[in-house]
Chain A
């Protein structure tokens, strides 16, 4: 594909739906647990029986206020609900209770980091609304089934300003939102299960153009990687269309991850007129100042704050600190490790190196790690106190991972304790030098890089247990003689 980046720029806005992790639904007492038998978690209110009325689950107000604070936004009081009217079989009332004029969160922003540096993305609003149920088309011959378990589950829809310019920025923004909701413990943010869903509004224009191009909305892209690819695809598609003299149709498109394309779902020309109007069954909600302050007081340390603390408290690099702080569980694990080990830098390296590799291999989360933070801390301590070398530590780590044993137990039973006795190392070195007279001669006649060969031979002779620094020092003095 031709590189158009010189002439064109993309304008991207994201709408992120976050499913809030309340015990009961937004307007009813039914449970929100995932995976129950169809329609076992739908009460009269969720079924929209005649005469039922919604009662707001106040837990969601606290969650929304916390998100507002994390997004540096204003909290609207009063905040009010509206009805969004449309017919759909899994929308039992024929309207969705959402927010229109007075969303609970408005006018915030989020600072993101990409390889090209930092950028501030405006957050237009975040509003509360209820989720719909699900239509099941495969289970019944010639009929569709409807499962209303999800109907009424609380969602926060977070709408960004169209200030995102690249797929990379979009992913950074999305990851940052993900990190925030996980930190606030207001959602599990599981994209695969649909508890975080992303719609991307994308348009392109020639650099320097003032007016925005016609945009498309790509719906329900369910992983970070797919968001990046879908937006990339859509930008390129739109540029190609325009370069070929075609027009962009304002429409909703679906991303197909199998073939990495987007295709039209419905055109906005046939879009519903949602006929929003204030929800008369719920009065506008006044959020008292004390209530907001009370909620604010329960704010945990946020990713940015944690990153800065990791830099100052543990002398980590910005980059390492940022990686660790992005995921709360990872950051917690790191801090647990540092309680046992004394080297934060080494701890960070191990977590992001060996440990992450193993977790990725087996597709586990940090909480499911087979080596606990305590055990990893002990392993790192043994490197620090010279009991084992870093190389041996890697072997031991693998054994810990597969056996669940502690580091000292493995060192003991397998005799892996580092050799640090000068005399013992000397005698091993002497043996190696004597056994390789040719190399010795070459080295002494100027072939410096053979030094590594000798180190290797000594380490091999010690089965990797010799302290590398001592080997280096002693070997150097012996070879120079």
Chain B
């Protein structure tokens, strides 16, 4: 049985009296410990799918099931011990006036979990940060360190599923490599399931077993990693994304697109 099942999901926002169909009839299923990628341009609805799973966007139609159970509305505490999200911008997703310690301990307090000190220290160690970082504020950390804190926070309740919304697009290339390596290590060690969103095909390819290409809120094509590497996409849109990918530029630096 699949861990995450999404059936004919639609998300409709009402803006200025007209309906904006952000996601239309998207279906996918993700097995336990699989890593699944969503790619597409801005406005393709990829982040909205993650937000709909978490209850941050309205589910206007269709069904979301986690481990066979339809997700409750509101999502509730049981849900947050299963599913957690890491956001794109580590500069915006951490509370600027809370110490790292307070940020990491908040989920513990909400869920009434004890042993706060050792859990916070363990979480920091897991993401490769020194325990002394507990007493710092977000502005005293670099972007990569902040994203590590955001990942640590997501792991505080030991969820099985991580939703990753462009987790490295705000980071430098070298820092991106470190964070991607960290995510892969944690996935292997903790047996996590990833649903990851990115506009960078090379990042998705590095991280994910299967990917779905989205455009204007609709699913265009589902590809395995091998299909992508061998350029076996069947739709023109997926091919145009592949061709425009920055990664491809390295192959023909002498023939720039003019």
Do A and B make up one complex? Answer: no
Interface residues of B (CB under 8 A from A): none
